[in-house]
Amino acid sequence: MTLAALWVAFLAMFALTALAPAATALWLRLRRDVPIRVFEIAAGFYLLNLAVQVPIFRLIGNRPGLLGPVLAPLLAPAIYSLSEESLRYLSFRAGRTMRGSRHADGALMAGLGHGGMEALIFAFVLTSTVVSVTFAPASLSAQGIDATQIANGVMVSGAVYTVSRLSAIVCHVGLATLCVLAYRRSLAFLPIAVLVHFALNASTSRLQAAGGPWWVLVFVAWAALFGLLAAWVRREGWLRRSPPPPASPGTPPTSGGECEPTPLATPAFAWPGMPPPPP
C-alpha cells in the first residue's frame, strides 16, 4: 500500500512539474507559433549555467564561512543570480530564432525552457529516490536509512515540492521577461533581473534553512509578483511582436513574429508610446 501510494504521488509530481512545462511549450508552438527551439535553447543555457556554477562552488569550497554569519549565506544566491541572468540574457543572442523571439511569447517559451529543465533535474533526483525505495530497500537499510520513512517523507512533502517547482517556473517566466525588456526597452532591466533573482534566492533560502513552511509561502508570493509582471508587460504591449517588413518586389514575403531591432535597447528608458531614440 505504501509503495502504491508512493508511486501515485511521484507520478503526479513528475507530471505537474516536469511534463507540464513541455506540454505548455508545445501549446505555444501550435497556437502562438513560437518556435520550439526557443524552449530547447533556453533549457540548454540552463545546463550551461550549471557548468559554470559547479566549478565555482567547488573552487570556493568552505571559504564562504570566512565572510561571517551575515554575508556567507548571501554568496550562493549572488552566484546563482549573476550566472543565471547573464546566461539567460545571452541566450537571446544565440541564433536568429532567439533574436527573433524577443517578445512576450518568446519570453514565456524561454522561461518554460529554463524552469522546465531545472524542474526536470529535480524530478530525476526524486526518481532516483523512489526507485531506490522500491527496488533496493536493502541497500538503503545497509546505509542506516529507513526506506519506509523515506517513502512517507516523499508523500508528505509532495505538495510542497510541487508548489515550489511550479512557483520557480513562473519566476523564470518573469525573469525571462525582464531579460527581453533589456533588449527591447532598456539595458537597465538586466541588473534589475539580477537583483530580484538575488532577492528571491536569498529570501527563500534563509527561510528554508530556518525550517517551517514560510519559505514556500514567500516563494508563492514571488511567483505571483513575477506572474503579474509578465501579464502586465503583455497587456501594455511592451513586448508586442512587430509586423513583418514589406516584401520588396521579387522576394517572397516573410512571416511575422520578428521583434524590433536591438538598437532600441538603450540606457534611456523607452516608455510605451514614446518614439524610438534617434539613430
Segment-wise mean pLDDT, segments of 10 residues, the chain, 279 residues: 86 95 96 96 96 89 67 87 97 95 96 97 94 90 88 90 96 98 96 97 91 92 98 94 63 48 38 41
pLDDT at 277: 41
Convert 101-157 into a string of H (helix), E (strand) and C (coil).
CCCHHHHHHHHHHHHHHHHHHHHHHHHHHHHHHHHCHHHHHHCCCCHHHHHHHHHHC
pLDDT at 243: 67
Joined together, the cell numbers standing for residue 262 give 536591438
Joined together, the cell numbers standing for residue 252 give 517572397
Backbone angles phi, psi at 199, to 5 degrees: -65, -40
pLDDT at 246: 62
- Look up the pTM and report it: 0.84
Give the integer Cα–Cα distance in Å for 108 and 123: 21
pLDDT at 141: 87
pLDDT at 88: 97
Give the integer Cα–Cα distance in Å for 138 and 152: 17
Convert the chain into a string of H (helix), E (strand) and C (coil).
CHHHHHHHHHHHHHHHHHHHHHHHHHHHHHHCCCCHHHHHHHHHHHHHHHHHHHHHHHHHCCHHHHHHHHHHHHHHHHHHHHHHHHHHHHHCCCHHHHHCCCCHHHHHHHHHHHHHHHHHHHHHHHHHHHHHHHHCHHHHHHCCCCHHHHHHHHHHCHHHHHHHHHHHHHHHHHHHHHHHHHHHCECCHHHHHHHHHHHHHHHHHHHHHHCCCHHHHHHHHHHHHHHHHHHHHHHHCCCCCCCCCCCCCCCCCCCCCCCCCHHHCECCCCCCCCCCCCC
The beta-carbon contacts of 264-268 under 8 Å, at least 24 apart in sequence, are: 264/183, 264/184, 264/185, 265/182, 265/183, 265/184, 265/185, 265/186, 265/187, 266/186, 266/187, 267/186, 267/187, 267/188, 268/186
pLDDT at 254: 47
For residue 182, give the amino acid letter.
A
